[in-house]
Amino acid sequence: MKKTILIVAMLVMALGLSAQEEKKISIPSGYRAFIEEENSMQLVSKEHSLIGVGTTHGFYMNEHCFVGLGFTMIGNESDFLMPIYAAVRYNFGYKSNVTPVLSLRAGSYLSESTGLYADLGFGVRFASKHHFAISVMLTGTFFEPTEHYSRGLGDYVNVNHCGAGIRIGMEL
């Protein structure tokens, strides 16, 4: 009986010590890929909101700064746009599971017409012990206004997609 109590006490103490170990966070480094889903509510036009999915690939230059290239396929019932961009991302810390993050994208979009594309995002990165993180960001998106001929409507259509939205992504 005493042996059993002693063994149980030792196991409880061992579990208590292992629970008090400092959690190690994976420090971002090297090549990383992001897969992101985004929704954007239009601010300057009366068109429907945009929804899309995209990917960005690049390298962490240090534990804070990521630089890469990517593209997104985004659209609604009447338009399909494909921004191709350079991306810079800055993590404001890496020693915690939860850190603020700032993201900037700049490039061009392809559609029936082309134009400039810019996107600024600010949010939170939830890191794991392994090379995996999830981020949630509030974004502001700008597509250069253009006109293109719409075959369905038989007329020229203004493309003016500027909005605010939410981006949810996985960092692999």
Does residue 73 form part of some domain? yes
Does residue 117 form part of some domain? yes
Q: What are the two backbone dihedrals, phi and then psi, of residue 140, each rounded to the nearest 5 degrees?
A: -120, 125
19-77 pLDDT, tens digit each: 444 455 666 778 999 999 888 877 666 666 788 999 999 999 988 899 999 999 988 77
Cα dist from 122 to 33, 91, 102, whole Å: 18, 10, 5
85-109 pLDDT, tens digit each: 999 999 887 677 888 999 999 999 8
Does residue 10 form part of some domain? no
- Domain total of the chain: 1
Q: What is the pLDDT of residue 107?
A: 95
Q: State pTM to two decimals.
A: 0.75
Q: What is the pLDDT of residue 38?
A: 86
Containing structural domain, residue 140 = 25-171
DSSP 98-112: EEEEEEEEEEEEESS
Does residue 163 form part of some domain? yes
Does residue 13 form part of some domain? no
Return the CATH number at 95.
2.40.160.20
CA distance 23 to 32: 22
DSSP structural state of residue 27: P
Q: What is the pLDDT of residue 162?
A: 78
Does residue 4 form part of some domain? no
Does residue 16 form part of some domain? no
Q: What is the pLDDT of residue 83?
A: 92
Per-residue buried b or exposed e for 129-162, using 16+ beta carbons within 10 Å of the residue's own CB: eeeebebebebebbbbebeeeeeeeeeebebbbb
